[in-house]
């Protein structure tokens, strides 16, 4: 009886609730399925990708991922002096914060200085060696301690959300007693204040709503007309089924990171669903590929021959078939499948043969390599040496695809005779083990970083990050492999040289990349496994002109500052 | 799990009929109890029978093609399903595990964890509950406080800490962890029981005749409490299985071979319901339903043993 | 009533304080037994975007959060903070304070848990009463046990099936969350109806599961009660079955149910973790789960404080009311 009443009540209430006008609202899936604390709206806080950096704040440039070029947005130009030491940043004229204050060079200088103090969580923005000066209201000089031809990529690329400098309004932040605890949220004062065409309108525990501000600076400055959507929402809907159902019913326009099966079911029910490409692997390449990251300082896996043997024991196609139902591609280098990278890393010379070897699945060869290293199969079929079993504990942390890849990998290695197992950790425990070197191998994204230039991924193996045994490294991509051989030193020398080559000198960039890869393949500190393709479905039911592989006006990830360009492009469906 | 106690707690208010019972209508042989136990036994022996039908490795990830429909179903290609190639009567899940093998391995394992975890939990409950109820006074207060604390602190926090040290928990490890959460409620329930028993005539008589405390506890009270203990046990098994399934559904406590909870967890993460893969989420749900109904039968049957007035009533 | 002696009440109060203190102490120790330190939680946060965590930055945060102090110092701070209801900053969602996070979640869990427990109590007790009363219609007594089938399934599983039916297939109810984005929180009809429609599915999944236990308990009690002498006497006196049912049967049988209800209300918040996760319901359970995974000591402690308080206070109140509720005393005094 009570239930019937409740249901009846719901029946009328859901009828009387005003429905969101979908022809003027775009609804995005919140990336993590849950917002950070709903009072924290710093563009350097946990909610940054829930609409803040996409709609409220604007980037200085937007990266064209397919060419690696920076397109002007708030800034017009960034150029180095002859020594690649002093970079000059030119801002657009007429930019205003949403509270009417002008956006100036002082704001840029203030932001760089603030990040330098370490008082805000600035992700991977590295400005320790940068000195910023406001030359005039529209000009900033940024001086680096030593020549750095890749400097612009370090601060102004939007290919990775965490590597984009988001400029803060000095007139608000400088007034705060303690910027570290400043939440940048006060609806009465109109905070957060950004330059973007949207303002935060309302916050519920699961949904952030932004409304268009029609006096956006870009119209008066003749930069761009107003974007078409009047309202944007980022909403956390929970499980993948729930999010997929919401897409099918038209309640959600952009989905984040769907599995292939769910995408297929969605597409089968709703022809208005599309994703980055129409053929497998459907999604767009992610910056991070799956890899088996060894701790090369620990016996027995400090032996490159054993790591190569493991590599021959891996059937990548089977990994792809089981963990991604066929929708991925093998990864054979430390680089992601990004167009600008693929151009400079199209492998040539001796590295080509190594690359082919990495992609080879040869169980017999793997076994003979273990035998050559003194291992023999014991009674249980497991390799032994001096009475000790050959074990390999592979650590990872909670995420469905990572678990699947690890589980299949474990079975493949067990078949060859390695006593392999999976150790699934919570994120902090994984961080603790990865940074302190307390692991044999991790199933992770060891060479993450490169988007338009190969240096970032290669630098993840640089001996310059090394710390002494027992000490913690400074982050995920600071040589967690503890790779410290002669090859590693030679490799790092080449990588350091690469950092000094202007990015447009593609001949030299390519030459150095090949040289570095030569050392890298010899030691194989990390076994590259699979590229990662993110399926972020979009619905054309309410909005059209989404970016696709055929029309890649922005890279199809919806968590970066380049979404500004998307907002100015999409149009309501007829 | 907590609410489940209401059943036991309320039946705990009732007094057992100490009078001798006729051999002919032995209350232990009531159909509810027998059918419940029968189903449980049947599910449990799959542990030994299963290997005759399926190879254990069929339940491993990637054992066969992903998304294979059951033998009698039509594959929907647009959904990415694969036609049945034989040898997998219930089809495969989204990661190539044979569903039949997963069930035949998962059911006895889930039951084992339930029985072992509840067994340890109830054993601790008996010791603490009896001691508290029988001696009363400050001993009762101490045990009562510890029990309250045990109920109050969130078990999930403890589990995650333990899991951070152990790579593969296995049946025994998982059971021990479950026992950590399973003892407080039996302790509380049995204490209440003993408290009411203590005042009964035969206990007083035994005291007067100079019997020692342990002797009274174990010779006089324990036998009379057996039906309650058994009912508490059956309920605790339910509770443990629910808890372990929930933990596995949150993605904690992973293992190479599937359990009912991990199958549900995989099905949830793989959006099985949305994708229309009923053969993925259906079997573990049906299996759990079977287990819980059997346990319910056992509890109801034991209720009748403990409470003669229930006999002959609907 | 002389039953509540001063000594008894004081004893129980002391036990309440002791329970809370022991619980708090355990919740101080447990997260610290884990393998990773709060610094790792901070680094995880810093490194989330693929960045490096400058050790000096981590040190600065540890200092701000008081983590450089000795364990004893931290423990005393922690107890003092608990007494003042101020647990400082969250580690993983800094600079949000634990209070702001917990207070955001608290009303949702309270609303969900209290209403779910009360509804399942009422429905379950009613079903149990009908099943247990010998004079209720036979057909009803045969059909009702079917409703108890649900009690054998995990609540989150039921929740998912409900989502599939009500949200996806029939578009009757929303998928998740606590209320929709286009209503203004406050005492207005659109907001209230939005909250209600969002709460129905999580509520229903909990109610369907919990109902069964209440029904079984009630049925058992009722069968015992109806064979008691005074009920037989009432029947023999020729009282109408309905009034015997209401005045003697239900009244007596419901007392132990009510005592269980007190405990259930106190402990239920910890039992809806998975349900809240499935429905992305912004409650304490969901919060606790996320905090545990992130090893966010301060939030874990903040949530646990409320859970511990819930259990201890409900036990304490129960102990105080129990002397008044004993069915036998009640009836004999009449």
Interval B202-207 mean pLDDT: 74
Q: What span, in angstroms and rounded, lies between the C-alpha atoms of C45 and C91?
A: 9
pLDDT at A15: 36
Residues of B in contact with A398 (CB under 8 A): 251
CATH for B114:
1.10.3720.10
Mean per-residue pLDDT for A287-302? 94
Q: What is the pLDDT of residue A420?
A: 94
Nearest residue, CB atoms, B78 vs list A268, A407, A425:
A268
Cα–Cα distance, A260 to A533 (Å, whole number)? 10
Give the mean model confidence (pLDDT) for residues B61-76: 88
Q: Do C53 and A474 touch (CB under 8 A)?
A: yes
Residues of B with CB under 8 A from a CB of A: 60-62, 65-67, 76, 78-80, 94-96, 160, 164, 167-168, 251, 254, 256, 268-271, 273-277
Residues of A in contact with C293 (CB under 8 A): 398, 426-427
Supply the pLDDT for residue B254: 67
3-state SS of A468-513 is CCCCCCCECCCCCCCCCCHHHHHHHHHHHHHCCCCCCCHHHHHHHH
- pLDDT band for A5, please (50, 70, 90 cuts): very low
**Residue C139 Cα, gap to closest chain B Cα (Å):** 12
Query: Residue B305: which residues within 8 A CB-CB, separation 6 or more?
Result: B27, B28, B30, B33, B227, B230
What residues contact A544, with CB distance under 8 A and at least 6 apart?
A: A570, A571, A572, A573
pLDDT of C54 reads 60
Contact C176 A237 (CB under 8 A): yes
User: Which tokens in the block code for residue B28?
Assistant: 């232990």
Establish if B86 belongs to a structural domain.
yes
Count of domains forming chain B = 1
Nearest CA in chain A to B64: A322
Question: What is the DSSP annotation of A338-351?
Answer: -HHHHHHH---THH
pLDDT of residue A496: 96
pLDDT at A415 (0 to 100): 93
**Percent of chain A beyond pLDDT 70?**
94
Contact A532, A290 (CB under 8 A): yes
Residues of A in contact with B158 (CB under 8 A): none
Select the more confidently predicted residue: B175 or A88: A88
Q: How far is B259 from chain A (nearest CA, A)?
A: 15
Task: Report pLDDT for B199.
Answer: 67
How many CB atoms lie under 10 A from the CB of residue A147?
A: 15
Q: Is the pLDDT of residue A56 over 70?
A: yes
Q: Residue C221: what pLDDT?
A: 74
Chain B residues whose beta carbon lies within 8 Å of the beta carbon of residue C292? 156-157, 160
Q: Is B304 in a helix, a strand, or coil?
A: helix
Residue A495, CB-side half-sphere exposure with 13 Å CA sphere: 24
> Residue B32 and residue B53: Cα distance in Å, rounded?
30
Whether residues C304 and B157 touch (CB distance < 8 A) is answered with yes
- Lowest-pLDDT choice from B57-61, B293-297, C169-173: C169-173
A230-255 tens-digit pLDDT: 999 998 887 787 788 888 888 899 99
How many beta-carbon pairs under 8 angstroms link A with B? Answer: 90
- Give the per-residue pLDDT at A519: 95
Contact at 8 Å (CB) between A234 and A31?
no
ipTM over 0.95: no
CA-based nearest residue to B251, from A410, C46, A407: A407
Q: With respect to residue B14, please indicate whether it lies within any of the assigned structural domains.
A: no
For residue A290, pLDDT beyond 80: yes
Is A473 domain-assigned? yes
Alpha-carbon separation of residue A11 from A8, A17, A247 (angstroms): 5, 10, 22
Which residue from C15, C227, C310 is facing B145, i.e. has the nearest CB?
A: C15
CATH assignment at residue A367: 3.10.105.10
Query: For residues B310 and C133, which has the higher predicted lDDT (pLDDT)?
Result: C133
Given pLDDT bands bounded at 50, 70 and 90, which one contains residue C4? Answer: low
Q: Which of residues 34-53 of A touch C (CB under 8 A)?
A: 34, 36-40, 45-46
- With a cut of 60, say whether residue C332 has pLDDT above it: no
Residue among C200, C9, C233 nearest C115 (CA): C200
A238 in contact with C at a CB cutoff of 8 Å?
A: yes
Taking CA–CA distances from C211, the nearest residue in chain B reads B3
* Any C CB within 8 A of A14 CB: yes
Q: DSSP for C73-128? A: HHHHHHHHHHHTT---B-SSSTTSBHHHHHHHHHHHHHHHHHHHHHHHHHHHHHHH
Q: What pLDDT is stored for residue B1 in this prediction?
A: 34
Q: Which domain holds residue A350?
A: 285-375+440-533
- Rounded to whole angstroms, the Cα distance separating A324 from A524 reads 25
A390-447: pLDDT as tens digits: 999 999 887 778 888 999 999 999 999 999 998 888 888 888 888 889 999 999 988 9
CB contact under 8 A, A411 and B76: no
Q: Domain of residue B266: give its range.
A: 42-310
pLDDT tens digit string along A272-283?
999 999 998 999
C-beta separation of A330 from A530 below 8 A:
yes
- A393 contacts chain B (CB < 8 A): yes
The pLDDT of residue B181: 82
B283 occurs within a structural domain: yes
**Which H helix or E strand runs over A140?**
strand A139-144
User: pLDDT for B108-127, tens place per residue?
Assistant: 988 999 999 999 999 999 99
User: Residue B167 is nearest to which of A239, A323, A423, comparing CB atoms?
Assistant: A423
Cross-chain Cβ contact B270/A400 below 8 Å: yes
Q: Quick: pLDDT tens for B3-57.
A: 333 333 333 333 344 344 444 567 778 888 898 899 999 988 888 888 888 888 8
For C72-114, write each residue's pLDDT tens digit. Answer: 888 998 898 888 888 788 877 777 788 888 888 888 888 888 8
Q: Which of A11, A46, A233 is opposite residue C93, by nearest beta carbon?
A: A46
Instruction: Give the gap in angstroms from C-alpha C148 to the nearest C-alpha of chain B.
Output: 10
Q: How many CB atoms lie within 10 A of CB A345?
A: 23
Strands (E), C146-271: none
pLDDT value at C231 more than 90: no
CA distances from C253 to C224, C327, C331 (A): 8, 8, 12
| Beta carbons within 10 angstroms of residue C169's beta carbon | 11
Flag the least confident range among A536-550, B195-209, C279-293: B195-209
Chain A, residues 402-441, CB within 8 A of chain C, namely 426-433, 435
Which among A241-255, A456-470, C20-34 has the top mean pLDDT?
A456-470
B273 CB neighbours in chain A (<8 A) are: 241
**Does B255 fall in a domain?**
yes
Residue of chain B whose Cα is closest to the Cα of A393: B167
Give A166-200 as a DSSP string. PPP-HHHHTT-S-GGG----BGGGTBSP-SSSEEE
CA-to-CA distance for A492 and A520, rounded, in angstroms? 10
Domain membership flag for residue A472: yes
C37 Cβ under 8 Å from any chain B Cβ: no
The strand pairing partners of A254, in sequence order, are: A28, A538
| d(C-alpha A329, C-alpha A307), whole Å | 21
pLDDT of residue A221: 94
What is the arithmetic mean of pLDDT over B173-192? 85
A241, C164: Cβ pair inside 8 Å?
yes
**Antiparallel, parallel or unpaired: β A388-389 and A376-377:** unpaired
Pairing status of strand A388-389 against strand A538-539: unpaired
How confident is the model at residue A142, as a pLDDT? 96
Query: Tokens at residue B295, please?
Result: 């346990």
Question: pLDDT at residue A536 above 90?
Answer: yes
Instruction: Report whether A112 contacts A151 (CB < 8 A).
Output: no
Q: Identify the three-state secondary structure at position C3.
A: coil
* pLDDT recorded at residue C169: 75
Q: How does the average pLDDT of chain B come out, rounded?
A: 80
Distance CA A156, CA A51 (A): 19
Report how far residue B158's alpha carbon sits from residue B183's, in angstroms, rounded to the nearest whole number: 15
The answer to whether residue A465 is domain-embedded is yes
State yes or no: pLDDT of A539 exceeds 70: yes
Q: Which domains does chain C have, with CATH numbers?
A: 1-92+296-334 (no CATH), 110-293 (1.10.3720.10)
Mean pLDDT (whole number) for A65-77: 93
| Residue count of chain A | 574
Average pLDDT of the segment spanning B148-174: 78
In this prediction the pTM is 0.86
Q: Which of A414-428, B139-153, C25-39, C259-273 has the lowest mean pLDDT?
A: C259-273
The count of domains in chain A is 1
Whether residue A195 is predicted with pLDDT greater than 80 in this model: the reply is: yes
Query: Does the pLDDT value for residue C199 go beyond 70?
Result: yes
Tokens of A3: 């239930």
DSSP of B240-302, one letter per residue? Answer: HHHHHHHHHHTT-S--SS--HHHHHHHHHHTTHHHHT-HHHHHHHHHHHHHHHHHHHHHHHHH
Report yes or no on B8 lying in a domain: no
Min mean pLDDT across A44-58, A203-217, C53-67 is at C53-67
> How much is the average pLDDT of B271-277?
84
According to the model, what pLDDT value does residue C162 have?
85
Residue B98 has pLDDT above 90, yes or no: yes
Residue A17 has pLDDT above 70, yes or no: no
Over residues A517-531, the mean pLDDT reads 95
Please report the pLDDT score of residue B313 as a whole number: 45
Contact between chains at B285 and C315 (C-beta distance less than 8 A): no
Q: Return the residue in C23, C220, C286, C300 with the most chain B beta carbons within 10 A, the one to mutate for interface testing.
A: C220
More confident of the two residues B74 and A317 = A317
């Amino acid at each position: 009886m009570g239930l019937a009443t409740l249901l009846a009540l719901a029946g009328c209430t859901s009828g009387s609730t005003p429905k969101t006008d979908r022809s003027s609202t775009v609804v995005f899936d919140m990336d993590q399925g849950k917002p950070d604390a709903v009072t924290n709206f710093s563009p350097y806080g946990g909610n940054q990708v829930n609409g803040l950096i996409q709609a409220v704040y604007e980037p200085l440039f937007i990266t064209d991922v397919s060419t690696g070029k920076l397109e002007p947005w708030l800034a017009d130009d960034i150029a180095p002096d002859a020594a690649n030491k002093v970079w000059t940043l030119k801002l657009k004229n007429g930019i205003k914060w949403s509270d009417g204050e002008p956006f100036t060079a002082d704001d840029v200088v203030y932001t760089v200085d603030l990040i330098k103090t370490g008082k805000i969580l600035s992700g991977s923005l590295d400005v320790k060696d940068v000195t910023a000066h406001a030359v005039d209201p529209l000009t900033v000089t940024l001086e680096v301690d030593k020549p750095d031809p890749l400097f612009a990529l370090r601060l102004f690329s939007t290919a990775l959300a965490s590597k984009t400098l988001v400029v803060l309004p000095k007139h608000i932040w400088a007034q705060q007693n303690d910027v570290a605890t400043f939440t940048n949220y006060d609806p009465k004062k109109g905070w957060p204040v950004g330059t973007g065409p949207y303002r935060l309108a309302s916050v519920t525990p699961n949904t952030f709503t932004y409304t268009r501000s029609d006096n956006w600076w870009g119209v008066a400055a003749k930069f761009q007309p107003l974007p078409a959507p009047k309202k944007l929402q980022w909403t956390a809907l929970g499980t993948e089924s729930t999010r997929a159902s919401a897409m099918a019913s038209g309640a959600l326009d952009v989905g984040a990171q769907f599995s292939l099966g769910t995408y297929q079911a969605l597409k089968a029910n709703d022809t208005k669903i599309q994703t980055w490409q129409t053929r497998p692997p459907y999604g767009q390449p992610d910056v991070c590929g799956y890899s088996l990251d060894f701790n090369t300082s620990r016996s027995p896996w400090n032996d490159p021959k054993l790591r190569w043997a493991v590599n021959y024991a891996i059937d990548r196609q089977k990994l792809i078939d089981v963990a991604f139902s066929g929708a991925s591609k093998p990864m054979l280098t430390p680089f992601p499948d990004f167009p600008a990278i693929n151009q400079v890393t199209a492998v040539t010379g001796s590295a080509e043969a190594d690359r082919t070897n990495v992609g080879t699945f040869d169980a017999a060869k793997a076994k003979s390599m273990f035998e050559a290293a003194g291992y023999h199969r014991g009674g249980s079929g497991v390799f032994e040496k001096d009475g000790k079993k050959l074990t390999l504990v592979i650590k990872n942390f909670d995420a469905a695809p990572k678990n699947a890849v690890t589980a299949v990998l474990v079975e493949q290695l067990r078949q060859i005779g390695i006593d392999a197992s999976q150790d699934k950790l919570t994120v902090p425990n994984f961080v603790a083990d990865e940074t302190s070197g307390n692991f044999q191998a991790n199933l992770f994204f060891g060479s993450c970083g490169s988007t338009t230039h190969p240096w970032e991924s290669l630098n993840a193996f640089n001996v310059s990050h090394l710390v002494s045994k027992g000490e913690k490294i400074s982050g995920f991509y600071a040589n967690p492999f503890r790779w410290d051989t002669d090859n590693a030193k030679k490799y790092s020398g080449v990588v350091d040289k690469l950092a000094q080559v202007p990015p447009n000198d593609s001949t030299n960039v390519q030459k150095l990349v090949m040289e570095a890869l030569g050392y890298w393949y010899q030691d194989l500190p990390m076994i590259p496994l699979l590229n990662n393709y993110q399926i972020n479905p979009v619905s054309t039911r309410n909005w059209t002109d989404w970016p696709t592989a055929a029309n890649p006006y922005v890279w199809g990830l919806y968590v970066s500052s380049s979404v500004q360009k998307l907002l100015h492009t999409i149009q309501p469906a007829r | 799990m907590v609410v489940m106690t209401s059943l036991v707690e309320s039946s705990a208010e009732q007094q057992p009929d100490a009078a001798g019972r006729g051999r002919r209508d032995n209350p232990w042989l009531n159909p509810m109890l027998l059918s419940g136990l029968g189903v449980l036994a049947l599910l449990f022996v799959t542990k030994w029978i299963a290997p005759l039908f399926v190879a254990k490795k069929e339940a491993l990830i990637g054992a066969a093609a992903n998304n294979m429909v059951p033998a009698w179903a039509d594959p929907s290609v647009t959904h990415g399903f694969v036609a049945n190639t034989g040898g997998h009567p219930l089809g495969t899940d989204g990661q190539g595990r044979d569903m039949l093998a997963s069930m035949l391995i998962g059911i006895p394992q889930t039951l084992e964890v339930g029985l072992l975890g509840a067994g340890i939990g109830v054993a601790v409950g008996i010791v603490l509950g009896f001691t508290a109820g029988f001696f009363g006074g400050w001993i009762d207060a101490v045990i009562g406080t510890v029990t309250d604390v045990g109920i109050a602190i969130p078990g999930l926090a403890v589990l995650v800490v333990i899991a951070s040290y152990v790579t593969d928990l296995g049946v025994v490890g998982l059971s021990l962890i479950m026992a950590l959460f399973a003892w407080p409620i039996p302790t509380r329930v049995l204490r209440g029981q003993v408290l009411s028993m203590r005042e009964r005539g035969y206990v007083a008589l035994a005291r007067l005749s100079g019997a020692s405390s342990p002797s009274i506890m174990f010779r006089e009270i324990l036998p009379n409490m057996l039906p309650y203990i058994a009912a508490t046990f059956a309920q605790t098994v339910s509770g443990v299985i629910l808890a372990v399934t929930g933990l596995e559904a949150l993605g904690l406590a992973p293992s190479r071979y599937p359990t009912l909870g991990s199958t549900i967890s995989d099905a949830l993460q793989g959006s099985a319901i949305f994708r229309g893969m009923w053969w993925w989420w259906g079997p573990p749900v049906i299996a759990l339903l079977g287990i819980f109904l059997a346990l319910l039968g056992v509890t109801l049957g034991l209720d009748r043993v403990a409470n003669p007035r229930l006999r002959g009533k609907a | 009533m002389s039953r509540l002696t001063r000594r008894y009440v004081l004893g129980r109060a002391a036990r309440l304080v002791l329970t809370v203190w022991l619980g708090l102490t355990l919740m101080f120790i447990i997260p610290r037994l884990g393998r990773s330190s709060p610094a790792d939680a901070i680094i995880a946060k810093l490194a989330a975007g693929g960045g490096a965590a400058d050790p000096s930055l981590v040190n600065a945060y540890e200092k701000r959060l008081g983590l450089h102090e000795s364990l004893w110092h931290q423990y005393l701070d922690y107890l003092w903070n608990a007494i003042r209801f101020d647990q400082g900053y969250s580690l993983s969602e800094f600079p949000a304070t634990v209070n702001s996070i917990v207070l955001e979640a608290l009303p949702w869990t309270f609303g969900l848990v209290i209403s779910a427990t009360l509804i399942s109590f009422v429905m379950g007790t009613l079903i149990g009463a009908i099943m247990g009363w010998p004079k209720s219609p036979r057909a009803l007594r045969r059909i009702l046990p079917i409703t108890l089938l649900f009690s054998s399934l995990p609540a989150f599983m039921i929740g998912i099936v409900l989502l599939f039916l009500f949200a996806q297939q029939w578009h009757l109810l929303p998928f998740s969350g606590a209320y929709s984005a286009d209503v203004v929180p406050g005492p207005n009809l659109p907001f209230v109806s939005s909250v209600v429609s969002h709460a129905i599915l999580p509520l229903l999944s909990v109610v369907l599961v919990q109902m069964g236990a209440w029904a079984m308990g009630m049925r058992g009690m009722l069968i015992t009660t109806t064979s008691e002498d005074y009920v037989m006497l009432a029947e023999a006196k020729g009282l109408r079955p309905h009034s015997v049912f209401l005045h003697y049967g239900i009244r007596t049988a419901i007392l132990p149910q009510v005592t269980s209800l007190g405990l259930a209300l106190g402990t239920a918040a910890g039992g809806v973790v998975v349900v809240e996760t499935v429905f992305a319901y912004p409650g304490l359970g969901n919060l606790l789960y996320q905090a545990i995974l992130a090893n966010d000591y301060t939030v874990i402690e903040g949530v646990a404080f409320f859970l511990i308080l819930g259990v201890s206070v409900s036990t304490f109140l129960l102990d105080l009311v129990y002397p008044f509720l004993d069915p036998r005393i009640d009836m004999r005094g009449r």
